[in-house]
Every structure is written in C-alpha cells, then in structure tokens.
Amino acid sequence: MKGNIKPLINDLSWMNEDSKRVAFSKLDIMKRVVMPHNDFFVKRDREALYSVFPDMNGQNFMTNLLGCSKVYQRLRNHERFQDVYNVRTFPSYRRAFYSYLPNSMTLAIGNLNSPLFYYNATLAIKNGALGSITGQQMSKTLDERGVTADVTDVRGVWLKPTVAAVNAEKSNCDVHAMTNSTKWRPLRMFPVVAGLEVAYARFTAAVTLDYLVLDDFRILHLEKFTDNQIFFSGILLFAVLEATGDGRSRV
C-alpha cells in the first residue's frame, strides 16, 4: 500500500515538489506494527518484560489500575514499548491507530480474523476490509495533525503556506453519509475518504498483477457481481456500522 499511496500524492496538483518529498520520506520510514517483537513469544523474555508490573493479587481495582498506569507511563521510552507493551491483541475502541510524532502505525492482531481478514479471500475483500482501515492510518501522515510533524519528529508545519491552506480546507471537509446530517455521524475527508482512495488504488493495482483474483467464489444462485461491487459493498457496510456516533460498530 505504501507503493500505491505515493502515485496518489505525486498526482496532487496543489502540492509542491518539496512537500511531496517530505511526504514520501514519512511514508518510507513509517513504523508498521502488527505482530509483537519476538521477545513476546519467548516465555523467559516475556516474563522478564512484564515482571516490572505490580502483583495484582489481593488489591482492589483502582489500586491495580493506578499501579499499572504508573508503570506503563515509565515504560514509554523502553525499547520494547512500541512493539510489545503498546501492541493491541484484540481491537476494542480502535482497530488501528497512528501515532504522529513516532510516525508509527499499529494494527491490532485481532484484525487478522474474520470479518476483516480471510486468508484465502479475493483481493476485493482483503482490500475493502482490512485494507481500507490500513489506508486510513497511512493517510493520516497528511491530515491536519500529520503535516505538523516532519520526518525528524520535529513539530511545525512542513507545507508551504499556500499548500498548507489547501490542505487545511480539505482536512476540514466533512463528508455526510446522508443529506440529513443530524441522523448520521459525519465522516471526515481525512482519514475516511483518503483511506478509501489508497485502499482502492492498492486493489486496482493488485488486480492487474494477479489473475487469480478473477476466480469467482460466488454463492450458488446469487446474482452476478463484480470485484468492484464487492469492494465498495464492504466499504458501505463498514461506514454504516461505524456511523453510530460513539465510534463503536453496531448491527
């Protein structure tokens, strides 16, 4: 997907060449964390890593919560913080998140299960589900906060003033799911629409390279459908389930 987002950025007529180079550099050095570091899977190393947390036996909930929070705060500079202590096993409020200053994208391991991921699924399903979530996080390098941290993790807008003005206008654009905006939670241009564009670019590029995606795994007697319809049906379902106002999916 990193290779597919770069042409999209390169085609932006309102972004100058210097800004594009910074954007490319941020994407190149972005840390991507899905599985924990190997130390997590070695019992001895894992026990050593988590031995710094207090014993929770016999303590009340608030005591345990405060104790763990203090330890967790002290571990922020630990070499295993991003790829062990901060790795989500199962998605809860957020299936994925992007940390701006560390320039790091983390996906919960639990995302690698249905309905977001099927190992033998077509590329339309893979990119329309987990791919769209990944694309959203990658696009945050260019949202209103992403342009305030450069490749050296230094705060400050790295876009030229005229480019920054256009980017701010696009970042503040709300895309409403219906004309009645009071009924549905508005979707931001960043990261929702930009992430969808990245995921679709990845999907169309993969289709041209892998003829296997043309295999049609349809249910008997189901009406004819195309890979494009599958891709956007998944996106529509995702948007409908997410538009509840509290950020949690509901059926």
In this prediction, residue 247 carries a pLDDT of 44
Q: How many CB atoms lie within 10 A of CB 140?
A: 20
Strand partners, 149: 155
- Looking up tokens 């599985």 gives 35
In this prediction, residue 50 carries a pLDDT of 95
In this prediction, residue 209 carries a pLDDT of 73
Alpha carbon 232 to its chain's center: 18
Tens of pLDDT, residue by residue, the chain (251 residues): 888 999 999 999 999 999 999 999 999 999 888 888 999 999 999 999 999 998 888 788 999 999 999 999 999 999 999 889 988 777 666 788 898 988 988 888 888 888 788 877 878 888 888 898 899 999 999 998 999 888 776 677 888 888 999 988 888 776 555 555 555 555 567 888 888 889 989 988 887 776 554 454 555 566 666 777 777 776 666 665 554 444 444 33
In this prediction, residue 248 carries a pLDDT of 47
Q: Are 164 and 143 in contact (CB under 8 A)?
A: no
175: left (phi over 0), alpha (psi -120 to 50) or beta: beta
Q: Are 98 and 137 in contact (CB under 8 A)?
A: yes
pTM: 0.71
